[in-house]
Structure 1
């Protein structure tokens, strides 16, 4: 009699699956941002593009400390800003608020799409939140 056991998925397989899901989300939010720009004009496109780049501008908070940091380390002073701009829950919550609120301004929604696309691309390519010392978590 042979016994059939199924092994738990390996950490590598789960990582690939998770990153693939983030990449799918990134492509979705990018397409949605482009759609908003096409439908609502240059301001929507400009804000989507700005918010696609904006989260990484938090590196500038402590640019003067960069030469003294280890390779891959973000200056601890910039970490709270970086982590705040790279938490997916923030733009998701703002999208929910936007949807429920009586305010309808398409460029704001396009900006949120760009922001979520940025976070999703980062996660898809293996970049996540930082420790208080400025190194990548996990």
Structure 2
């Protein structure tokens, strides 16, 4: 079965999506600095969205749902909008770190997960195999 048939992005689109991740990560870092937030907080909470991986102990399906919920831009962008409208710099700080985390993951090829297992993402199958070449 080809990569396309398995649901993976192929060719130049794969690299475009990874470049998009780099761009979002860099933009989030610039926004974080511009807003004058403390970098210690950034380092402390940067990997928090990855705690969603623990849901894989329940099942691949629940793990994929939890991971995708925490690694989609929808919630952190909604959180940022909320922080903007209520003038909460703390909420915006959390949202920016969350957005940076997702961009970082996408830049390194960690895409949204399929329910068949953690290694199956919309960008590629994680790990070394002939399919990934």
Confirm or deny a common fold (TM above 0.5). yes
CA–CA separation in structure 1 for the residues paired with 2:63 and 2:20? 28
Q: Which has the higher strand share?
A: 2
Task: Say which structure, 1 or 2, has more relative contact order (CA 8 Å, 6+ apart).
Answer: 1
Structure 2 match to 1:128:
111
Partner residue of 1:112 out of 88, 95, 118: 95
Q: Are the structure 2 counterparts of residues 50 and 104 from structure 1 closer, same or farther at C-alpha, using a change threshold of 3 Å?
A: farther
Gap regions ≥5 residues in structure 1? 1-10, 66-73
Higher Cα radius of gyration: 1
Q: Which has the higher helix share?
A: 1
Give the count of matched residue pairs: 112
CA–CA separation in structure 2 for the residues paired with 1:23 and 1:106? 24
CA–CA separation in structure 2 for the residues paired with 1:41 and 1:129? 29
Q: Deviations over 1:53-111 (max 9, x none)?
A: 11111122344x6xxxxxxxx83332221111011111112212222x2x222122111
Q: Are the structure 2 counterparts of residues 58 and 95 from structure 1 closer, same or farther at C-alpha, using a change threshold of 3 Å?
A: same
